[in-house]
Amino acid sequence: MCCIRAMRLIASALLLLLFLSAPPSYGQGLPQDIPRKELLILENPEGTIKNAGWFNIWAINAGSQSNGLQQVALDTLWYIDPEAGLDGAWDNSLAADKPQYNSDFTEMRVNLRKGIFWSDNVEFTADDVVATVMTQIMHPGMRFSAVMASNVASVEAPDRYTVVFKLKHPNSRFHTNFTVRWGAVWILPKHVFEKVDDPLRFNFNKPISLGAYELHSYDPNGKWYIWQLRRDWDRTTLARFGKPGPKYLAYIDPGPPDKRVILQLNHELDVIHDIAPEGMFALARQSKTTRAWFKGFPYGHPDPTLPAVIFNTQNDLFKNPDVRWALALLIDIKAVVMAAYRGACTISAIGVPPTGAHPETYHQPMEEWLKSFEIDTGKRKIRPYDPTIGKQIADMLRPSMGEQIPSDPKEVARAFGMGWWKPDPQAAQELLEKEGFAKRNGAWTTPDGRLFSIRVMVEGDLRPVMTRAGTMIVQLWKQAGIDAKIDLAQGTLPTRRAAGDFDTLIGWSVETWGGHQDLSYFLDSWHSQFVAEPGKSQPLRNWQRWSSPALDKIIEEIRTVDFDDPRSIELGKEYIKLAVKEMPTIPLMAYTVFTAMDQTYWTGFPTAENPYTNPVPNWGNSRYMFVRLKPAS
């Protein structure tokens, strides 16, 4: 604890020196004719954009998605907010109501809103939706070509405000392709693309906007993009919630983490997408105007994403659930969260992120089952779940963080999570011995007498909190006598992950809507039909390559029930129980994003007390934030 305090003091002192010595750099090269009080400056985490003038999001050509393009210029049929939403998590955006399926989910009808216009004064109609789908199907290689071609038998517009999809096979979740979590299939303007010879080569510059903002200007070198509120903003879907506060939005590359902190201290960066925990601590100490998701510790927003130890279950060492469980019982989650996030994260023992609607839907109802869950070690039965781990983390932090750490049990659970698996080296030993492993001279060997070696793949500086977590887990396994090593894959992890070139990795194969209880966003991709053969590339998101007839049965039933059917929750709980028993991954915590919001010029940002949307600025849902922002008095 003393080391943590010392690190904070050193980091704060260095940042303060940098802040005091930094010259003014208003707007990071932004045009000077825009009044600062009308401008909201946000970080684009994609950094400097190589092909800065490329706005055709439907074709992949080194352009940017989160430079404001998907957040404020584009639109689609529906949104699901990872938080509470302005009027509930579900929002009918370009669609007038929810999708309408026939009884066997082979046809989907969509009724569209009337009176929505593109920024060039052309009305949005069903023809735009049909063109979006057919352009993708007719031009393989576009961003959404594969999913449209594999699902859509035909699409037609019987009138200007109705679209009918006929599907190649039953799919009760087809609408989710047009439903924004982070992004989605965005609707393109037919009247523009029908004049283009090759949509794969078309840069869509200047982009025609369907959202409340249109492009004002951009840096040809890719450092910044500025969007201006449309004069006819009231003819967009966002207008249902009011007029956006900022007249101008600037999405910029603010540079490395320390520079982001300095810019916010100088009030030149209103929204930081993410920084390391130490940077957030420094802002909390030095800035009276910075606000994060939580008012105090742990500050960050827990995304509906679940970092975990992901096993390559096609590796003979990790095919057995007893071995996977033994490795889980050698992990001290308190040490992991302190190493990764300095304690500023929300733990989860189950395969669902502890954020949005999920704690109420899954974590809390599953608590009694987890308390009574037993493992047979071969010598005895144990109950590995400790419901007090979240409270223990809070208690560890309270001496140094004081009143920033809540004491109310509900607030502790919301901030730090509920329970996790108690470290149990003896039970781990019994499980390994049960499967033929042996410990000789303090070192574990496999059933065939080889050294029990595990590589833990991490991304290094590209994702430092995950690298810290992996490093601590390696240390814990080494202490138990396992030959564990860090496998650094900086810049190569996505490629190696897809190829199955790893033993274990620190990452995620679970991503959810957050604001909706349905788990099919990730779970459908876990069906065995998508598991690649060893050596072949694995598609999203079953990186663990886990096959289970029991899981297939759950997924196949989910496909036959409506998106809002309560039965899908019960099936979600069946998945959770199966994943706990089989442990194909070891869930760790929500992916905490330290989004920092400076309230010098703008107030009304979403927070844990007012969770009307996700504040992370590269998410498509972040558009809802702008209608709540007001100029600071």
pLDDT per residue over 54-101, tens digit each? Answer: 999 999 887 999 999 999 999 999 999 999 999 999 999 999 999 999
- Does the residue 377 lie in any domain? yes
What is the rounded CA–CA span in Å between residue 436 and residue 353? 34
Q: Would 254 be classed as within a structural domain?
A: yes
Whether 91 is covered by a domain: the verdict is no
The answer on 497 and 469 residing in a single domain is: yes
Residue 379 sits in the same domain as residue 244: no
Q: Which domain holds residue 456?
A: 302-592
Q: In whole angstroms, what is the distance from residue 108 CA to residue 251 CA? A: 36
Give the burial class of 296: count Cβ atoms within 10 A of its Cβ; 0-12 exposed, 13-18 middle, 19 or more buried: middle
Residue 155 lies in a domain: no
Per-residue pLDDT, averaged over 263-290, amounts to: 96
Read off the tokens for 461: 């500086």
Q: Could you give the CA distance from residue 375 to residue 383 in angstroms, rounded to a whole number?
A: 7
Predicted pLDDT at 15: 44
pLDDT in tens, 487-532: 999 889 999 999 999 999 999 999 999 999 999 999 999 999 999 9
Do 211 and 350 lie in one domain? The reply is no
Residues 258 and 219 both lie in one domain: yes
d(CA 82, CA 614): 6
User: d(Cα 454, Cα 406) in Å, to the nearest integer?
Assistant: 38
Domain count, the chain: 2
- Residue written as tokens 């079953």? 542
Q: Is the pTM of this model over 0.85?
A: yes
Report the C-alpha gap between 633 and 623 in whole angstroms: 23
Q: Are 196 and 584 in contact (CB under 8 A)?
A: no
Q: Is 62 exposed, middle or buried (0-12, 13-18, 19+ CB in 10 A)?
A: exposed
User: Treating both helix axes as pointing N-terminal to C-terminal, what angle do 549-558 and 567-582 enclose, rounded to 10 degrees?
Assistant: 160
Residues 336 and 401 in one domain: yes
Query: pLDDT above 90 covers what percent of the chain?
Result: 88
Q: What is the dihedral of CA 321, 519, 415, 623, to 10 degrees?
A: 140
pLDDT grade for 1, boundaries at 50, 70 and 90: very low
Residue 145 belongs to some domain of the structure: no
The pLDDT assigned to 10 comes to: 43
Looking at the fold, whether 271 and 393 belong to one and the same domain comes out as no
Residues 129 and 189: their CA atoms lie apart, in Å, by: 9
What is the pLDDT confidence band of residue 28, given thresholds at 50, 70 and 90? low
Q: Is residue 260 part of a domain?
A: yes
The better pLDDT of the pair 1, 596 is held by 596
**Dist CA 192 CA 134 (whole Å):** 14
What integer pLDDT is reported at residue 461 of this predicted model?
A: 82
Average pLDDT, the chain: 94
Q: What is the pLDDT of residue 20?
A: 39
Do 471 and 555 fall within a single domain?
Answer: yes
- Asked whether residue 458 carries a pLDDT value surpassing 70, the answer given is yes
Phi, psi of 232 (to 5 degrees): -100, 40
Residue 61: what pLDDT?
A: 83
Average pLDDT over residues 186-215: 98
- In whole angstroms, how large is the CA radius of gyration of the chain? 25
Query: 178 lies in a domain?
Result: no
Q: Is the pLDDT of residue 566 over 80?
A: yes
Q: Are residues 467 and 601 in the same domain?
A: no
Is residue 448 located within the same domain as residue 553?
A: yes
Are 439 and 356 members of one domain?
A: yes
Closest by CA position to 41, among listed 227, 288, 207, 211: 227
103 in a structural domain: no
Query: DSSP character for 300?
Result: S
| CATH number, domain with residue 213 | 3.40.190.10
Question: Could you tell me where the beta strands, DSSP code E, fall in 102-247?
Answer: 107-111, 152-159, 162-167, 179-180, 213-218, 224-229
Tokens at 105, concatenated: 């989910």
Interval 217-266: pLDDT, tens? 999 999 999 999 999 999 999 999 999 999 999 999 999 889 999 999 99
The CA distance from 609 to 510, in Å, is: 26
Question: For residues 609 and 126, what is the distance between their CA atoms, to the nearest angstrom?
Answer: 39
CATH of the domain at 497: 3.10.105.10
> Region 195-199: what's the mean pLDDT?
96
Spatial CB neighbours of 415, under 8 Å, sequence gap ≥ 6: 294, 297, 298, 346, 394, 406
Instruction: Name 540's Cβ contacts closer than 8 Å, sequence gap at least 6.
Output: 525
| 252/326 same-domain check | no
**CB contact set of 633 (below 8 Å; sequence gap of 6+):** none
Same domain, 334 and 421: yes
pLDDT value of position 501: 97
Across 287-301, 319-333, 427-441, 562-576, least confident range: 287-301
